[in-house]
Amino acid sequence: MTIQDSVAQKQSEVRIQLDRSVLHVLLDRPRKRNALDLTMIRSISRAIDGRPTDTRVVVISGGAFFSAGADIATYKRGDQGEIGEITRAAGAVIDTMTTAPIPVIAAVEGMALGGGFELAMGADIVVAGESAKLGLPEVALGLIPGWGGTQRLSAQIGIRRAKQIIMLQQTISAEDAWTLGLVNEVVPDGTSLNRALEMAHQLAASSATALAATKRLVSGIERNLAYSDERAALMELFGSPDGIEGVTAFVEKRPANFGR
């Protein structure tokens, strides 16, 4: 796909724009709070993998609501092949974000939950609106974060805090996320994208080789984490009684009964 400078194009529910070497990927599914289905994930992957050669920085945003995570409709269908495909694709696109030799910035407004939070954790820099909330609520569904969340959260804030946030399904404020080191800057609501783009253009004017080397070396600690073990555990949980009950209860808008 050819991307013309300053011309936004629609690819499924993801908008892509290249402006002065900064590639902006906008999640654009507001009626679903940017819940990520396989089509959206593939669109993000194509945007990053197929970026023009003069791309120096990628910015990912979601408008007023970053992302509610994986589209629960995919999980409700219970198709293990489909669930496995979206899990692999999501893990791969976040891995691409972390290994691409250019900076990736996430601009977070509203909420970044589940897979949305995992997507943000894959960015090199995160800018959040002051009312933004982040969290990994998968345990409430009888599942676990499976797009790198258990591993990256532990690497970024430490094992004890990661366990607490995941096990208790805690929602983190932007300010607390900044304190924990999950967010680089907290800005007034509605301005995270402007700040992210400002940073991006500053980075685009820097040495590409120095930025690539910095990213490779600083991010090296996350490269050998147990992502495959995490994904295998998630797939096992999808077929478990608790996983089936948790997803069904969420769709039916009732408390889950995990064998109590």
Which residues are catalytic, by number? 118, 138
Do the beta carbons of residue 71 and residue 247 sit within 8 Å?
Answer: no
What CA–CA distance (Å, rounded) separates 239 from 128?
A: 35
Residue 73 backbone zone (phi > 0: left; psi -120 to 50: alpha; other: beta):
alpha
DSSP 171-222: EEEHHHHHHHTS-SEEE-TT-HHHHHHHHHHHHHTS-HHHHHHHHHHHGGGG
Q: 131 CB contacts (<8 Å, ≥6 apart)?
A: 109, 110, 174, 189
Rounded CA-CA distance 93/186 in Å is 25
